[in-house]
């Protein structure tokens, strides 16, 4: 063991280190150093340079010494190891080194000054609530954050009656510059806090009902990781394989759309029809077939009840979040939420169980076929190839897992054996190591639904699968419906753009459905229309994050202009400390709506997102305001990015491609157009923003669409 003596100079932010023990010697320093990291966190820099320090042995207690001393001296115990041969520098190493050198240069020359985020005065108890309501309040969330951006710029603070914050301080920091938000994303820990975990009504419901798997999805620790690893490969990873099923469902939806919405007027397009369409599409992904809730002649009462209960629970959640008093007072609204959640959960669990049991049976049949094939091969009989690719369901783990129950001629009922393997209540946690080996899975199942894939993976029991599906249904229905409702409102409000899009779709697809990723990629104008809809009318004005540690965020104005002193001062770096647990938001109404960066920001202009326009503005502030990945979509970024982002995007695009090739979508009353001064609707904050009351729409068949379906 040797001792590493660290001495830092706060003014220059450099650190000097000396190794003691064997022989005291200065290391080749100064090194990049952050006073906000503990010794343990800083030491990797040393390890990189000297390759003699075992970081794991650094004494954590030294953190305190380091933080409170000026100039600081900290002692870290480190073990000295045999010098390893220097690894050959890869491009990544070179880039890291270059970055480190840049950082070192910067820290040598720049003075760092801490600043508080500006913002309205935060009163005791009510915080900045008065200011919030004066700018538009809950329903005017977009207006609030547009005006806050205008008044305070790249960063500001708010406190919406968060009792546990001292007067004058903020419970929430809002960032407008995506470069600052990126600094947070870069420091995400292994278990980052997800926005989903802030939807407290869901979290409470899962906990109160002992729903452990569902709770995992909204937790912020190893349980979340476990849940995400179990669900992500088949939802985010294999999203492309669901395209044909989604396309088939969309074709059916489009066939009856005119009849349901315009002729028989069984449902309103923007509210009922789109929610049911979202349910049909997502059910097709989950179970492999659509429940046809958009078709009033085929819909079952239970399915309809489910859609209504989910919508209701989702909307009430929005109200509970903006007014948590309901929960504390155990008001009728909270009871309503619980009632609707109970219905949703019961339905999703029962339905998933049915499909999961079918999938187990189908799997057994496949295994039987596989076994027969192998036996025939063994006795030298050349068997004809089967339609199901047996290798598609076999992988390393299959052989070991299955042999215990179903394969190898074991006695007893094979279906029961498979069921036993997949319904062991301990399976979720107990076979973790085995499960993690199963990195990829073949996609050629006879019915590649999400539930079936989970069954084939043998990672979760039937009960666990059933429990994980309900939160997905909750997360995946109205989010998609709300997003689509804004897109179609733009389409109906801008008939010329709708025509351009319909022509473009016809050029690329010639009337056919979208079933491949290549087709999706070719629909640039549709992508631009969806992207522009998100810019102008996002389903939320903000993207939300919380961090488990304090973090310093360097303000972007340090690089652009020293705004405080109104003169250039590139030697000063301003930073703001964001505290652990403090709510952080990215303002989607700042830069993307700033006329200094975006031409005619209030107008719906999808052309601004076509490749030529994007190429032209590269490297400018306009590119930052329009093309930064933080602003690109509504799914969040980082490790907690929406699990269903790929599937939801595919659903929205495939449905739009089908509907707009078949139908002209028009406002019943032209005065309800999105920027019309006579419009009667307002954006209302449910869990997300939605036009309320959503203007009525009608579907007119396009020329080639001659007959309405007689289903």
Interface residues with ligand HEM (CB under 6 A)? 194-196, 217, 228, 235, 282, 472, 475-476, 479-480, 483, 539, 634-636, 640-644, 647-648
> In the complex, what is the shortest distance from the CB of residue 196 to ligand HEM, in angstroms, rounded to a whole number?
4
CB nearer to ligand HEM: pick between 233 and 644: 644
> In the complex, what is the shortest distance from the CB of residue 302 to ligand HEM, in angstroms, rounded to a whole number?
21
> In the complex, what is the shortest distance from the CB of residue 643 to ligand HEM, in angstroms, rounded to a whole number?
4
Q: How many CB atoms lie within 10 A of CB 612?
A: 7
Phi-psi category of residue 652: left, alpha or beta, with phi > 0 → left and psi -120 to 50 → alpha = alpha
70: DSSP letter? S
> In the complex, what is the shortest distance from the CB of residue 295 to ligand HEM, in angstroms, rounded to a whole number?
21
H-state helical runs in 51-140: 62-68, 91-109, 129-135
> In the complex, what is the shortest distance from the CB of residue 284 to ligand HEM, in angstroms, rounded to a whole number?
12
> In the complex, what is the shortest distance from the CB of residue 212 to ligand HEM, in angstroms, rounded to a whole number?
16
CB nearer to ligand HEM: pick between 119 and 592: 592
CB nearer to ligand HEM: pick between 198 and 549: 198
CB nearer to ligand HEM: pick between 422 and 546: 546
CB nearer to ligand HEM: pick between 576 and 648: 648
CB nearer to ligand HEM: pick between 598 and 643: 643
At 587, list the tokens: 């303002």
Identify which of 48, 19, 20 has the alpha carbon closest to the alpha carbon of residue 32: 48
> In the complex, what is the shortest distance from the CB of residue 483 to ligand HEM, in angstroms, rounded to a whole number?
4
CB nearer to ligand HEM: pick between 156 and 239: 239
Asked whether 420 and 462 are in contact (CB, 8 A), the reply is: no
CB nearer to ligand HEM: pick between 419 and 640: 640
Alpha-carbon span 321 to 76, nearest angstrom:
46
CB nearer to ligand HEM: pick between 158 and 634: 634
Q: How many CB atoms lie within 10 A of CB 528?
A: 22
Alpha-carbon span 286 to 355, nearest angstrom:
9
CB nearer to ligand HEM: pick between 253 and 642: 642
> In the complex, what is the shortest distance from the CB of residue 584 to ligand HEM, in angstroms, rounded to a whole number?
11
At 316, list the tokens: 């009430």
160: DSSP letter? B
Asked whether 422 and 458 are in contact (CB, 8 A), the reply is: yes
> In the complex, what is the shortest distance from the CB of residue 261 to ligand HEM, in angstroms, rounded to a whole number?
21
Residue closest to ligand HEM, measured at CB: 644
CB nearer to ligand HEM: pick between 228 and 255: 228
609: DSSP letter? G
Rounded to the nearest 5 percent, the helix, strand and coil shares of the chain are 55, 10, 35
Tokens 């999938």 correspond to 359
Asked whether 181 and 591 are in contact (CB, 8 A), the reply is: no
Q: How many CB atoms lie within 10 A of CB 561?
A: 14
Asked whether 138 and 44 are in contact (CB, 8 A), the reply is: no
> In the complex, what is the shortest distance from the CB of residue 546 to ligand HEM, in angstroms, rounded to a whole number?
9
> In the complex, what is the shortest distance from the CB of residue 644 to ligand HEM, in angstroms, rounded to a whole number?
2
> In the complex, what is the shortest distance from the CB of residue 641 to ligand HEM, in angstroms, rounded to a whole number?
6
DSSP annotation string for 5-54 = EEEEETTTTEEEEEEESS--EE-S--B---TTS-HHHHHHHHHHHHS-B-
Alpha-carbon span 192 to 179, nearest angstrom:
19
Distance set, CA 153 to CA 22, 117, 177, 295, 589 (Å): 54, 10, 9, 49, 12
Alpha-carbon span 233 to 640, nearest angstrom:
14
At 74, list the tokens: 């900290």
Helix (H, G, I), strand (E, B) or coil at 573: strand
Three state DSSP letters for 263-303: HCCCCCHHHHHHHHHHHHHHHHHHHCCCCCCCCCCCCCHHH
CB nearer to ligand HEM: pick between 78 and 578: 578
């Amino acid at each position: 063991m040797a001792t590493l003596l660290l001495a830092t100079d706060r003014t220059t932010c450099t650190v000097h280190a000396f190794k003691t023990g064997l022989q005291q010697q200065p290391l080749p320093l100064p090194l990049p150093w952050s006073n906000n990291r503990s010794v343990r966190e800083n030491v990797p820099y040393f390890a990189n340079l000297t390759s003699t320090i075992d970081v794991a042995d650094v004494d954590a207690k030294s953190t305190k010494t380091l933080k409170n001393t000026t100039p600081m001296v900290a002692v870290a115990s480190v073990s000295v190891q045999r010098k390893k041969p220097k690894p050959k520098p890869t491009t990544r190493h070179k880039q890291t080194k270059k970055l480190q050198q840049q950082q070192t240069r910067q820290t040598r020359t720049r003075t760092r000054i801490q600043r508080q985020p500006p913002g309205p005065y935060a009163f005791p108890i009510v915080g900045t609530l008065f200011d919030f309501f004066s700018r538009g309040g809950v329903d005017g969330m977009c207006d609030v954050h547009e005006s806050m951006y205008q008044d305070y710029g790249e960063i500001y603070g708010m406190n919406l009656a968060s009792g546990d914050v001292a007067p004058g301080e903020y419970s929430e920091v809002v960032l407008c510059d995506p470069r600052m938000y990126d600094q947070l994303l870069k420091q995400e820990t292994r278990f980052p806090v997800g926005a989903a975990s802030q939807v407290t009504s869901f979290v409470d419901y899962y906990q109160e009902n002992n729903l452990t798997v569902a709770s995992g999805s909204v937790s912020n620790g190893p349980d979340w990781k476990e849940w995400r690893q179990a669900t992500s490969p088949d939802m985010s990873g294999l999203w492309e394989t669901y395209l044909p099923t989604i396309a088939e469902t969309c074709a059916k939806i489009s066939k009856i759309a005119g009849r349901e919405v315009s002729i028989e007027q069984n449902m309103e397009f923007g509210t009922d029809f789109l929610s049911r369409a979202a349910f049909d599409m997502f059910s097709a992904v989950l179970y492999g077939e659509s429940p046809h809730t958009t078709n009033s002649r085929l819909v079952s009462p239970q399915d309809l009840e489910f859609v209504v209960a989910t919508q209701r629970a989702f909307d009430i959640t929005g109200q509970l979040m903006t007014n948590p008093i309901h929960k504390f007072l155990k008001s009728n609204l909270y009871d309503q939420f619980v009632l609707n959640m109970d219905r949703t959960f019961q339905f999703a669990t029962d339905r998933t169980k049915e499909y999961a049991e079918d999938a187990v049976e189908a799997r057994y049949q496949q295994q039987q076929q596989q076994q027969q094939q192998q036996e025939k091969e063994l006795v030298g009989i050349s068997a004809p190839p089967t339609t199901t690719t047996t290798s598609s369901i076999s992988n390393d783990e299959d052989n070991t897992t299955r042999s215990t129950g179903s394969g190898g001629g074991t006695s007893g009922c094979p279906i029961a054996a498979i069921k036993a393997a997949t319904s062991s209540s301990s399976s979720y946690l107990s076979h973790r190591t085995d499960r993690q080996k199963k990195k990829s899975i073949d996609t050629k199942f006879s019915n590649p639904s999400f539930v079936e894939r989970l069954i084939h993976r043998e990672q979760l029991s039937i009960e666990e699968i059933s429990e994980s599906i309900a939160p997905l249904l909750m997360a995946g229905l109205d989010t998609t419906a709300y997003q689509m409702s804004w897109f179609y409102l733009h389409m109906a409000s801008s008939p010329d753009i709708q025509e351009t899009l319909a022509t473009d779709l016809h050029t690329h697809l010639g009337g056919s459905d979208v079933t491949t990723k290549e087709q999706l990629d070719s629909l640039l104008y549709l992508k631009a229309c969806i992207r522009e809809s998100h810019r102008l009318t996002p389903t939320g004005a903000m993207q939300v994050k919380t961090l488990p540690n304090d973090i310093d965020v360097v303000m972007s104005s340090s690089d652009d202009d020293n705004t405080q002193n109104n003169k250039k001062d590139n030697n000063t770096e301003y930073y703001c400390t964001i505290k652990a647990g403090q709510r952080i938001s990215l303002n989607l109404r700042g830069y993307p709506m700033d006329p200094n960066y975006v031409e005619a920001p209030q107008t719906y202009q999808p052309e601004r997102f076509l490749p030529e326009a994007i190429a032209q503005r590269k490297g400018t502030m306009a590119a930052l305001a329009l093309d930064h990945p933080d602003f690109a979509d509504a799914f969040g970024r980082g490790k907690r990015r929406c699990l269903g982002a790929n599937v939801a995007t595919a659903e929205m695009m495939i449905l739009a491609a089908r509907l707009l090739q078949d139908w002209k979508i028009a406002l019943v009353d032209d005065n309800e157009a999105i920027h019309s001064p006579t419009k009667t609707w307002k954006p209302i904050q449910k869990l997300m923003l939605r036009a309320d009351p959503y203007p009525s729409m009608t579907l007119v068949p396009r020329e080639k669409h001659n007959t309405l379906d007689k289903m």
